[in-house]
Structure 1
């Protein structure tokens, strides 16, 4: 993400390669650039008002963030968290509406008070932008911000005691979940271990029924 890239390469690499050229492509569209700036300010403490893309001797560009004060922060100097947000935003604001992104530990590096904004951004772009996001998290707090639609698609990855392999179960399939959510928060249920306990009980019941 800190390495300069050639203009005309609007697609991010698997690990955020070509970030600068992807951002340059977005910034050539005023509407997408405006959205990019708004979300960057919402998700980070930076007061970014613009981007510049100076070229090096080979014609490659490196993004610089321009703050309200006029201070410029290059991708070389930006924090890892800021670059992660930029890469996520670049992916979600991609002009191609048919992409699927797999993001590990999506909440990594984001302040807990901004987690709800991250969830809002992803759900909004999935609804209106046509992209699909498959993300992992260990954060109970993030689960609590999911909309009912996103919660219905959420999966629990767990491992039974003594088992070598992990299993996957849709969270919405857990017994009495909707009734329990009337008085309990999903984040608290996850933090308490309730999700894994219920998944294990279901697995035991299924095993007994199969015998």
Structure 2
């Protein structure tokens, strides 16, 4: 699992760390930096799949640009940003720290530095033994290749004691090129693949109800806007489809005013290659009727999409949802929080969600305080920061004066942060 992400000179951030738990809620006022933090995860997800660094930022024929594109990916006036992350290893006593530094201009984005460190913890120890598995060195700025030093199974330490050297392309992640290094130590390959799996498991999801109302072709992966939700559900094997649709029905039953008896998908069309989402609903004691996605509310469709994502993503994934409660009535916020916690735990999927909704914070309650992070801007520098809610000095006093939702809606959390920072 991805445990933490440090952002330096990334968009509005000078230096901030986002800690990720099984369910993490990111709050903050408009333009505080929440979306910028999520864009860093989207960038990492893209480049881990072999997309070039420049295309991952500026977009191409198949990808939309990140918000602001290449011009605003670095904090002004910087031309370089770095992302450092910690991920869990395959074994209980290990982690990996991965560092990526990128130099950008109007036409290029290139690796300036990249490093993978293996962290090994002894029994009961909080301090890790560190071993460098690979690291880069900039030698010729004009060269299309970047010298990368890595550990091997041989006794020799290689050039300058850093390990053996390979010259790799600087327009893509070095991690995605490690398979081309044939004599690398097996721990290099294992560590690189573990980090790549974690990054490839990041799914930034923004379900758009208007895109979900039409027929969709069969698919094996959910699209980022949820437009092919019916095709994904209909494409499951028969046994898995029954299980997933039963779980969907269970989680949807309490959502609308009228009871949902069943939710399912069916193949449509002459060739059976498209699908539609249906539900059966009605009042207790009254005849039921069927509606398809065209007749479902925006809130219902978004909720269906989020549940579907949790039911169909691979265990070990990170599901990222901006404005998770958008379109959902405040009285149903507790259902959403409960579903995210329960289903995320059952499926082994971490969830990172942003919200502006006081009702969702009230539904989360005090038990979620350690897992809520506040995005905020410094009044003097304008830089974005990320502060865990539990680290606010005045938090006990604040909680005594109202619920989390009340504190958020009145701006008292941000005010306390400013006092903590002497602003």
Q: CA 1:52–1:12 in structure 2 vs 1: closer, same or farther (change >3 Å)?
A: closer
- 1:119–1:145 CA contact under 8 A, matched in 2: yes
Matched, 1:15 2:228: no
Deviating above 6 A after TM superposition, structure 1's stretches of 4 or more consecutive aligned residues are none
Q: Deviations over 1:19-66 (max 9, x none)?
A: 002333398434433221121111223422232414123521111212
The residue that corresponds to 1:209 in the other structure is none
Secondary structure of the residue aligned to 1:145 is helix
Alpha-carbon spacing, 1:167–1:106, altered in 2? closer, same or farther (3 Å): same
Higher share of residues assigned strand: 2
Matched, 1:42 2:42: no
Q: Provide the rounded CA distance (Å) in 2 between the counterparts of 1:26 and 1:192.
A: 49
Q: What is the distance in 2 between the residues matched to 1:26 and 1:86?
A: 19
Indicate the structure whose relative CO is greater, using CA pairs within 8 Å and at least 6 residues apart: 2
Inter-partner Cα distance in structure 1 for 2:276 and 2:365: 37
Larger Rg: 2
> CA separation in 2, counterparts of 1:194 and 1:182?
12
- Verify the 8 A CA contact 2:324 2:353 in the aligned structure 1: yes
Task: Quote the residue 2:339 is aligned against.
Answer: 121
Aligned pairs for 1:1-211 within 5 A: 1-7=212-218, 9-24=219-234, 25=236, 28-29=239-240, 30-50=242-262, 51-58=264-271, 59-68=273-282, 69-94=287-312, 96-146=314-364, 148=366, 150-161=368-379, 163-178=381-396, 180-181=398-399, 184-204=402-422
Length-normalised TM-score, structure 2? 0.44
Contact residue 43 and residue 118 of structure 1 kept, 8 A: no
Q: CA RMSD in A?
A: 2.5
Shift of 1:67: 2.3
Structure ranking higher in helix proportion: 1
Residue ranges of structure 1 left out of the alignment (5+ in a row): 206-211
Offset of residue 71 of structure 1: 1.9
* Aligned-partner Cα distance in 1 for 2:369–2:341: 11
Shift in alpha-carbon separation, 1:124–1:178, aligned structure 2, 3 A: farther
CA distance in 2 between counterparts of 1:109 and 1:67 reads 20
- Describe the SS at the equivalent of 1:37: helix
